[in-house]
Amino acid sequence: MELIFKLNGEEVRLSQVPGEESLLTLLRERLGLTGTKEGCGVGECGACSVLLDGKVVNSCLTAAWQAAGREVTTIEGLAGDEDLHPVQRAFVEAGAVQCGFCTPGMILAAKSLLDQNPDPDEEVIKNALAGNLCRCTGYHDIIRAVRRAGKLLRGETS
């Protein structure tokens, strides 16, 4: 059986994907999209966050077959060739990136939040992103980045 899904806007067809293969393994090892990271393998750190039909999921706990017929967005699908996505830009501008290992997952979680709630307050941001761990930043600048991204997306700042 073929596994067919949309990845970063393009259709992907794969054969012989074992039932137990995680979406993370499929992305990283089969498709070479290493922007999605593995930090713990048990769905606790959020480094492997990707978007499945726009909602954030831990790809280490998601079976590859759960993507069948759906749309997957990874960090590689966010930026254009020239420009950063506003959420990426906000992370860079707010100094929300240190070692960077949690950053792709954090950015996708933030995008998912902002897509559903364009102007979240601090408590909403904290609750939405609490499943993404960061050991470097203390989160302060990440929260700033999400607010800044919201402003960029709403066109309130440039």
Partner 1 sequence: MSQNSEEKRQVKTLERERLDLGRLVKVGEAGLRIVGDSVRRTDDVLKATGKLKYAADYPQEGFLHGKILRSPYPHALIRSIDVSKARELPGVVCALTGGDVPGRNGFGAILPDQPVICQDKVRYIGDGVALVAAESERIAQKALELIRVEYEELPAVFDPRDALAEGAPKIHETGNQISLDKLRKGDVEAGFAQADVILERTYQVPFLEHAYMEPDCCWAIPQPDGTMMVEGPMQAPFAVRRNVAPVLGVPINMVRARQIHMGGGFGGKEDSPIDLCCRAAVLAKHTGRPVRISLEREEVTLQTCKRHPMIMELKVGVTKDGKLTAFKSTVYDEQGAYASLGPKIPPAGGSHVHAMVMSPGPYEIENCWVDAYLCYTNHPYGGAMRGFGAPQVHIAHEQMMDELAAELGMDPVDIRRKNAFKLGSKTATSQVLDQSVGLRETLDACEERFGWSQRSDSAGWVDAAKTKRRGVGVAMGWYRTSIGTGGDACGANVHVHEDGSVILYSGITEMGQGAFTVLPQICAEALGVELEDVRLVKPDTDLVPESGPTVGSRSTTLMGNAIILACRQVRESLDQKAAEMLGVEPERLVFCGRKVFDRDNPDGKALEFRQVAAAAMASGMRLIGQGWWAPPKASLDPETGQGSPYFVYTYSTHMAEVEVDVQTGEVTVTDYVAAFDVGKAINPKALEGQIEGGVAMGLGYALMEKVVLENGMPQNMSLQNYLIPTMLDMPDLKPLVLEQTNQHGPYGAKGIGEMPNIPATPAVINAVANACGGRVRSLPANPEAVFWAIRELGGPPQD
Determine whether 25 is exposed, middle or buried from the number of CB atoms within 10 Å of its CB (0-12, 13-18, 19+): middle
Q: Which is nearer to partner 1, 68 or 130 (CB)?
A: 130
Q: Which of 2, 44, 53, 119 binds partner 1 (CB under 8 A)?
A: 44
* Residue 26 binds to partner 1 (criterion: CB under 8 A): no
CA angle (88 as vertex; 85, 91 as ends), nearest 5: 150
Continuous H helices in 56-135: 86-93, 103-116, 122-129
Distance CA 44, CA 78 (A): 23
The packing angle between helices 140-154 and 86-93, to 10°, is: 140
Select from 3-11, 12-20, 29-37, 149-157 the region that touches partner 1 (CB under 8 A). Answer: 29-37
Q: Which residue among 93, 115, 124, 151 contacts partner 1 (CB under 8 A)?
A: 93
Contact window for partner 1 (CB under 8 A) among 9-17, 51-59, 61-69, 100-108: 100-108
Q: Using CB under 8 A, list all residues that contact partner 1.
A: 28, 33-42, 44-45, 47, 74-76, 78-79, 84, 88, 91-93, 95, 97-104, 107, 122, 125-127, 129-144, 147
